[in-house]
Each structure stands twice: as C-alpha cells, then as structure tokens.
C-alpha cells in the first residue's frame, strides 16, 4: 500500500511536533483564522506558517482565504486513518497476549494433571 504508507508518513510526521499538535488541538474545537491561531505561539510568523503547511500537506487541516483572512479548519479523515493504524496493531497485540494466556493455561493444566497422575 504505497499510497496509504505515504499518507501515514505525512500524518505521523505532522503529529511529531508540539506546535503542530497544539494547532490541531485548537482546530478540533472549530475553524480559526491564521492570525488567531498564531497568537499563542512565541515564534516568527514564517516559521508558524511552515508548520501550517506541513499540517495542510498531510491532509490534517485545510485553509481557505476569504478576502484578507485565511481560515484553517480541521479535516478528520487523515487523523482517523492514523488512529485506525494504531488500533489495529493494539488488536494484534491483544491477540498475541490472549494466545500467550491460553498457552500458559494449557501448560498449567498439563502440569497439574501430570502432578496428580504422578502423586
């Protein structure tokens, strides 16, 4: 799945930065103008805009210019893709633990039955 892989590369890369995560945290509560978004961050606007670009390239946000105001909004689809990737691996891990537990139960039952027949 090269396309899926590339999408996940971009999404996880976008999430790997505290500024970009803070922007997402703001945008999941509703669309915001770039200038309002930038206010809480002590960084030069060009640096901030680069972070927005990474988020937009990953598909996690969209921006739209209306007159002189550029507004950013959250796009849920790509974040869901990342969440599903993680959830699937957690399910596989749970399956591994379950199999390990069953195997251990079998071993213990076997030992008990061996002990009973032996004593």
User: Is 30 near a copy of itself (CB under 8 A)?
Assistant: yes
Stretch that binds a copy of itself, among 28-36, 38-46, 49-57, 106-114 (CB under 8 A): 28-36
* Dist. CA 29–CA 67, nearest whole Å: 23
13 touching a copy of itself, by CB under 8 A: yes
Per rule CB under 8 A, is residue 36 in the interface with a copy of itself? no
Single residue of 43, 87, 107, 109 touching a copy of itself by CB under 8 A: 87
Is 43 a binding residue for a copy of itself by CB under 8 A? The answer is no
Which residue's CB is nearer to a copy of itself, number 4 or number 113?
Answer: 4
Residue 48 has φ and ψ, to the nearest 5°, of -65, -40
């Amino acid at each position: 799945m090269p396309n899926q892989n590339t999408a996940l590369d971009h999404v996880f890369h976008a999430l790997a930065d505290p500024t970009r995560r803070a922007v997402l945290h703001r945008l999941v509560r509703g669309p915001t103008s770039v200038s309002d978004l930038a206010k809480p961050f002590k960084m030069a606007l060009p640096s901030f805009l680069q972070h927005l670009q990474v988020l937009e390239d990953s598909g996690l946000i969209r921006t739209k210019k209306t007159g002189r105001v550029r507004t950013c909004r959250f796009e849920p689809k790509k974040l869901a893709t990342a969440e599903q990737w993680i959830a699937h691996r957690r399910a596989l891990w749970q399956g591994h633990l379950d199999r390990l537990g069953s195997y251990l139960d079998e071993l213990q039952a076997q030992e008990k039955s061996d002990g009973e027949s032996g004593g």
